[in-house]
Amino acid sequence: MKSVNQLAVLEKHDIRFAEKLVEPLTAAGVEILQINVGKRCNLSCRHCHVEAGGDRKEVMRRDVFDACLEAAAKNIDINTIDVTGGAPEMNPFLKDFIKEAAKLGKRLIVRSNLVILAEDGYSGYAGLYADNGVEIVSSLPDCDETRADRQRGAGFFRKFVRVAKKLNEMGYGRPGSGLILNLVHNPVGAYLPASQPVLEQDYRVRLKNSFGIDFNSLYCINNMPVGRYLDFLIASGNYDDYMRTLTEAFNPGAVKDVMCRKTVSVSWEGTLYDCDFNQMLGLPVDAEYSAHIGEFDMERLGNRPIVLHNHCYGCTAGEGSSCQGSLQ
Amino acid sequence: MGQNYYESEDLADFPGITEYAKKQGNKFFDYYRASTSAGKLSEREKSLIALAVAMTQNCPYCIDAYTNKCLSLGIGEEEMMEAVHVGSAMMAGITLVHSTQMRKIIRKKAM
C-alpha cells in the first residue's frame, strides 16, 4: 500500500497519539545512526513494514554510504551504527561500508535475516561480520517451525537454524567470544508480545534443547501498523481491534525512552527520518533540522521535534518497544 | 449501550469493576494478580489453566483475554487445544460422575 494511503488509514483512528502526550516529543541528542541500505530482500515476510522483497530496486549508493560514514565519524555522540534493510547483504557496497565503519570504533549492528548467509554468494558475510566485530540482530518470530515459516516464508526456519549453528561455532552468541548474536521476537499475528524476560527464557531453553543454539539477548518488538502488517490487519479484519489494543496499552512511562529520541534514521537515498517506520510512511524530519545525511547537523537534529502519527502507539504500548526490544 | 449483551470492547472495562465497591474491587485485583502471575507454576502454565477454565465457564471475555495471552507467550495452537480438551474432559467427567447420585437414588427407590 502506498504510504499516503497508509497514513489515510492511520488517520481514521480517532484517538490521536499526539493528544496522549503531555508535551511535544523532542529528540534528546543523536546516539544511534540507523541506516536503511535498501529494500531488496531474499524474503518477503508477511509483517514487513518495509515491504521488502526480491523485486525492490531501492539500494543505497556509495556516495550516501560515504556521507553516513562522515556523519558518524564527525559526531562522537553517535555511539552506534545500526544497519538495516531489506536484507542489507544485498547491497553491493555493504562489505566496504562494514570495513570502514568498524574502524570508527563504535557499536556496529547489522540486522540480518541470517538465511541469506546460506545463499550462494553471501556466505562470506559471516566471516566479515566476525572479523569486524559486527553485532548481529536477527528476527526469529517463533521457536516453532510452522509459525516462523508462516511469517517469513516456507523453509525459513530450517535455514535459520543451520546458519545460527554455524555462527555459534564461530563464537557468535557464546559467552566470552565478544561476538554478539541477538534475536528478535515479533508476534505471528494481531497481538502483542508477552514480557521480554519471560519469552527470552522460553527461547533460550527451547533453542538450546532442540537445536543446541545459543544467543545473547532476545528483543521483543511490537508489530507496527505499517506496510504489509497494516495490509494484514485490514485484510483479516483486525485493524480496529489492534489499534484499540495498542491505544489501551499506551504506557506514558515509555514515552521518554522511545528510540526516536536518540536516533536518526537514514533512507537509501540519504533522507533523514525519526525512525524506520516514519521512513516507510514518508514522514521525514522537518527540513529545517537537516533533510539529508549530507547536511547532518547534530545540534539541530539533537533537539528536533519528533514527527508523530498514530502508528507511534506501537512503541509506547505495554512495556514499550524499540529496535532494541522492550523499553523496560 | 451496544446492541449485544457481550461487546469485545467491554473487556477494557474490567478495571471498572472497582466502581461502587473500590475496596473489594482492589482486593480482588491484588488477589487476581497474585494468583495469575508466575510462582511455582510458570506464566505459561497458569495461562493455559486460565484458558481451560474460561472455556468451561463459557466466558467470552476470558476466552478473548487468555487466547491473546497464550499467543503472546508463544504458546502453540496445539497446546491451547490440549488445554481446552482438559477442560472439556473435566466437564464431561464432572457431569458423568454425578450420575452416581442419580444411580444411588434409582437403586434406593426402585422396586
Asked if the Cβ–Cβ distance from A244 to B12 is below 8 Å, we say yes
pLDDT of residue B1: 67
In the block, cell 478495571 appears at: B15
For A266-302, the DSSP string reads: E-TT-BEESSHHHHHHT-BPPGGG-SBGGG--HHHHT
Write down the domain spans for chain A.
25-221+259-309
- Give the C-alpha separation, A236 to A224, whole Å: 15
* Cα→Cα distances B77→A62, B74, B89, Å: 47, 9, 18
CB contacts, 8 Å: B68 with chain A: 191-192
Asked if the Cβ–Cβ distance from A191 to B9 is below 8 Å, we say no
CB contacts, 8 Å: B9 with chain A: 244
Which residue in B has a C-alpha nearest to residue A246's C-alpha? B12
Asked if the Cβ–Cβ distance from B8 to A189 is below 8 Å, we say no
- Give the C-alpha separation, A169 to A180, whole Å: 13
Q: Please, are residues A60 and A37 in contact by the beta-carbon 8 Å criterion? A: yes
Q: Which of A143, A192, A248 sits opposite B72 (nearest CB)?
A: A192
Q: Which of A220, A212, A106, A113 is nearest to A160 (CA)?
A: A113
- Give the C-alpha separation, A266 to A274, whole Å: 9
pLDDT of residue A4: 86
- Give the C-alpha separation, A135 to A178, whole Å: 9
According to DSSP, the β-strands at A135-139 and A181-185 are parallel
Assess B81–A contact: CB distance below 8 Å, yes or no: no
- Give the C-alpha separation, A309 to B75, whole Å: 32
Q: Please, are residues B41 and A110 in contact by the beta-carbon 8 Å criterion? A: no
- Give the C-alpha separation, B42 to B36, whole Å: 9
Beta bridge partners of A271: A292
CB contacts, 8 Å: A202 with chain B: 44, 73-74
Asked if the Cβ–Cβ distance from A202 to B44 is below 8 Å, we say yes
In the block, cell 547489522 appears at: A110
Written as nine digits, the cell of A182 is 541477538
Quote the pTM value.
Answer: 0.90
CATH fold, domain A25-221+259-309, is TIM Barrel (3.20.20)
Please list the ranges in chain A whose pLDDT falls under 50.
none
Q: Which regions of chain A does DSSP assign to beta strands (E)? A: 32-36, 80-84, 107-111, 135-139, 181-185, 218-220, 263-266, 272-273, 321-322, 325-326
Task: Identify the CATH number of the domain defined by range B38-109.
Answer: 1.20.1290.10
Q: Which of B49, B40, B66, B83 is nearest to A194 (CA)?
A: B66
Asked if the Cβ–Cβ distance from A202 to B76 is below 8 Å, we say no
Q: Convert the pLDDT of each residue in A236-292 to its tens digit.
A: 999 999 999 999 999 999 999 999 999 999 999 999 999 999 999 999 999 999 999
CB contacts, 8 Å: A244 with chain B: 9, 12
Mean pLDDT by 10 residues, chain B (111 residues): 82 93 97 95 97 97 96 96 98 97 94 86
Cβ contacts of residue A180 below 8 Å, gap of 6+? A135, A136, A172, A173, A216
Residue of A191, A196, A203, A319 to mutate for B, most B C-beta atoms under 10 A: A191
Assess B16–A contact: CB distance below 8 Å, yes or no: no
Write down the domain spans for chain B.
38-109
Q: Please, are residues A32 and A263 in contact by the beta-carbon 8 Å criterion? A: yes
Asked if the Cβ–Cβ distance from B73 to A241 is below 8 Å, we say no
Does ipTM exceed 0.90?
no
**CA distance to partner chain A, nearest, from residue B56 (Å):** 24
Assess B68–A contact: CB distance below 8 Å, yes or no: yes
